[in-house]
Structure 1
């Protein structure tokens, strides 16, 4: 089942808690056999125009996939570490993501997700990020 939705994302990291990134965008919400998906087009404001983002939400896992000018697949599961290759027009970045906390509260009517994770880029000190996603069905 495919529905129109408004997808809100809000994130900030421990480097600068006043630097909050917030995006509200129209998209689609899909109910799948094993979970839910939210799909939206990135804009110039996010710095990723020409990229489609898909959030796959399962009971205990969030998968963020980007395809287009930027491509990546990032897995978030509480207590686990994953490795992601983040392809940009400027080159490929190797990211290590450790999910400290993940709460998925989604059903066929939308819902929200919160994640707290540390991300390490090519041996640099990790950055802790908090992400909140809301999916509201139109």
Structure 2
């Protein structure tokens, strides 16, 4: 059963000791199946193009799929490096992410997920990143 939820994504990207943060809050859906969480939400880019997002996760693994103006599937596995193709209107990039930490806190009315990772392009580290995903159920 899919439950209505408010999905808040907060991110911090640090490049050369300079940080940039983002925050997105969207209405969406959340459910648990076979001990994995699934969260669905849409967001609009500045040019009013829709991006559909699916986040599948548990305490050791996160898969983020984005379809629309940007197409990608990012996988985060604790203490491992994963490669992903990041497709944008400007072209494709092969990126790697090394997941340093995944923290999952589940409560009755909300779920909080924190991932800490490093991003590499062409083998060179480009940033340190933290993403926090908070899912609050609309009861």
How high is the TM-score relative to the length of structure 1?
0.89
Structure 1 residues 137 and 71: alpha-carbon distance in aligned structure 2, compared to 1, 3 A threshold: same
Deviations 1:69-124 (A, max 9, x none): 21111111210000000111111111100001111223674311101100012344
Distance 1:38 1:4 in 2: 10
Aligned-partner SS, 1:99: strand
Q: Does 1:63 align with 2:60?
A: no
Q: Does 1:112 align with 2:112?
A: yes
Distance 1:28 1:49 in 2: 20
Structure 2: tracts of 5 or more residues without a match: none
Structure 1: tracts of 5 or more residues without a match: none
Q: Number of aligned pairs?
A: 136
Structure 1 residues 121 and 49: alpha-carbon distance in aligned structure 2, compared to 1, 3 A threshold: farther
The question of whether the paired residues in 2 share the 8 Å contact of 1:48 and 1:69 is answered with: no
Structure 1 residues 113 and 99: alpha-carbon distance in aligned structure 2, compared to 1, 3 A threshold: same
Aligned-partner SS, 2:59: coil
Distance 1:50 1:30 in 2: 22
Indicate the structure with greater strand content: 2
Structure 1 residues 109 and 74: alpha-carbon distance in aligned structure 2, compared to 1, 3 A threshold: same
Instruction: Please identify runs of 4+ aligned residues in structure 1 that moved more than 6 A.
Output: none
Distance 2:9 2:118 in 1: 18
Aligned pairs (5 A) from 1:66-77? 66-77=66-77
Distance 2:114 2:49 in 1: 24
Aligned-residue Cα RMSD (Å) equals 1.8
Aligned-partner SS, 2:125: coil
